[in-house]
Amino acid sequence: MSGSSQIYRSSTTAPVNIAVIKYWGKRDTALNLPTNSSLSLTLSQKSLRAHTTASCSESFTSPDSLILNGEKEDIQSSKRTQACLKNLRSLREKLEAKDGSLPKLSKLTLRLVSANNFPTAAGLASSAAGFAALVRAIADLYELPQSPEELSIIARQGSGSACRSLMGGFVAWRAGTKEDGSDSLAEEVAPVSHWPEMRALVLVVSAEKKGVSSTAGMQTTVETSTLARARFSEIVPRRMKEIEKAIHEKDFETFARITMQDSNSFHAICLDSWPPIHYMNDVSRAAMNAVETANRKAGKLICAYTFDAGPNAVIYYLEEHTHQAAGVFKSILPRIPGWEGEFGEMIRPNEFGSLEQKSLMTLKAGVSRVICTGVGGGPEKIEEHLVDEKGIAVPHE
């Protein structure tokens, strides 16, 4: 390794996104093409973000490498990562072919270093933020002119939902119909500034063990659920239209109802799979119950639960209902970590009304931490690099 070779670096942060219309089912497993469109909110990077530095240099010995949270990852045998790298290199090659003065970065070994600002143990899907950051950082390193929509086609091949983390605000992933996946990409439905009052409270539930992996679970559902077909072909397309309209009109009640219904629909087709798949547990159901109680007390829908492939609850609400929605949980769970920070401190504890004792005890026993956040922007280019000027990975904190 020659220390004198130039080190090219670019760093970015990328957000987590939590879907309100769920992605569950692939029509093509190699290209990560989904059975249905989906829609998510990008969450603020103050709370949750992946930070990735892409670097390359003639001094780096092959092969390409990735260090994730201080651990070396095996990216050579990861088809998904290889697909992303190949696509990005190919775009760089085209630039270099057009402009001979450009350094031939496409020929250099990539050294990638990534770190999340949240514990992996929290059970939050970090792969979306991770692949979005990886694609964005390399695209920046290569100075690619492609738009986030175009890059989302590449990120999608890393991890389906990663395509939605390349943009901020309210993001749709259009399923597309083409066999090569060239129309299966993410689009901004509305920017953060359209509805910046949207908040999210994550209840982190300690699960005894990780359930079925998303990739395996999705295939089981596609192959065996007799109820799923209607979801893919009719129910989700209708809901996509309805929730996009609700977002454009800032109609929280419709947004909330569809969000909850679609989460339930997703878990219903999981239960209808063979063998059946369970992600929610009694703690999840106690959280649903608390949301229903808060909505009943308010006389309208002021908060909405949604559950991904795990027991954690994500609860969306508007800033004006912070007290009535998130305050209930702060009152029930005052001493668990996560209430600090900009979004959390403003939440005043609020009596939980008629929530039944059993749900109360289940939440107290089962929720290990909260994350207080809100809708946020897309990836950001930053100058804090995880690879130093000599090309060495900065030690993980």
* Subset of 210-269 contacting its own copies (CB under 8 A): 226-227, 229-231, 234-235, 257, 260-261, 264-265, 267-269
Could you tell me the smallest distance in angstroms from the CB atom of residue 282 to its own copies?
Answer: 4
Q: Which is nearer to its own copies, 257 or 323 (CB)?
A: 257
Contact pick of 117, 215, 281, 331 for its own copies (by CB under 8 A) = 281
Q: How many residues bind its own copies (CB under 8 A)?
A: 30
* Subset of 289-308 contacting its own copies (CB under 8 A): 292
Q: Which is nearer to its own copies, 244 or 262 (CB)?
A: 262
Contact pick of 272, 319, 380, 388 for its own copies (by CB under 8 A) = 272
Q: Which is nearer to its own copies, 144 or 270 (CB)?
A: 270
Could you tell me the smallest distance in angstroms from the CB atom of residue 356 to its own copies?
Answer: 7
Judged by DSSP in three states, 362 sits in: helix
Amino acid at 209: K
Per-residue x/- track, 173-212, its own copies (CB under 8 A): -----------------------------------xx---
Residues 6+ apart with CB under 8 A from 134: 52, 54, 66, 81, 84, 112, 114, 155, 158
Q: Which is nearer to its own copies, 149 or 282 (CB)?
A: 282
Residues 6+ apart with CB under 8 A from 384: 11, 51
Q: Is 35 in the site for its own copies (CB under 8 A)?
A: no
Give me the helix-helix angle, 282-298 and 322-332, nearest 10°. Answer: 140
Q: Which is nearer to its own copies, 78 or 261 (CB)?
A: 261
Q: Is 285 in the site for its own copies (CB under 8 A)?
A: yes
Q: What is the spatial order of strands in the sheet that 303-306 belongs to?
A: 303-306, 313-318, 198-205, 367-374
Could you tell me the smallest distance in angstroms from the CB atom of residue 254 to its own copies?
Answer: 13
Q: Which is nearer to its own copies, 53 or 359 (CB)?
A: 359
d(CA 300, CA 298): 5
Q: Which is nearer to its own copies, 78 or 224 (CB)?
A: 224
Q: Which is nearer to its own copies, 45 or 359 (CB)?
A: 359
C-alpha count within 13 angstroms, C-beta hemisphere, residue 215: 11
Identify which range of 74-82, 176-184, 275-283, 389-397 contacts its own copies by CB under 8 A.
275-283
Which of 251, 313, 306, 278 lies closest to 20, judged by CA?
Answer: 306
* Cβ–Cβ < 8 Å for 102, 95: yes
Which of 97, 168, 104, 181 lies closest to 136, judged by CA?
Answer: 168
Which of 104, 113, 115, 114 lies closest to 57, judged by CA?
Answer: 104
Could you tell me the smallest distance in angstroms from the CB atom of residue 234 to its own copies?
Answer: 8
Identify which range of 7-15, 115-123, 278-286, 369-377 contacts its own copies by CB under 8 A.
278-286
Which ranges in the chain belong to alpha helices (H)?
Answer: 79-98, 127-141, 148-158, 214-224, 228-230, 236-248, 252-271, 282-298, 322-332, 342-345, 357-366
Helices (H) and strands (E) in the chain, counts: 11, 16
Angle CA 331–336–341, to nearest 5: 85
Identify which range of 26-34, 74-82, 104-112, 272-280 contacts its own copies by CB under 8 A.
272-280
Q: Which is nearer to its own copies, 117 or 281 (CB)?
A: 281
Contact pick of 288, 294, 328, 332 for its own copies (by CB under 8 A) = 288
Amino acid at 126: S
Judged by DSSP in three states, 224 sits in: helix
* Subset of 137-156 contacting its own copies (CB under 8 A): none
Q: Is 335 in the site for its own copies (CB under 8 A)?
A: no
Q: Which is nearer to its own copies, 60 or 316 (CB)?
A: 316
* Subset of 354-383 contacting its own copies (CB under 8 A): 356, 358
CA distances, 211 to each of 55, 151, 309 (Å): 35, 31, 8
* Residues making contact with its own copies (CB under 8 A): 208-209, 226-227, 229-231, 234-235, 257, 260-261, 264-265, 267-269, 271-272, 274-276, 278, 281-282, 285, 288, 292, 356, 358
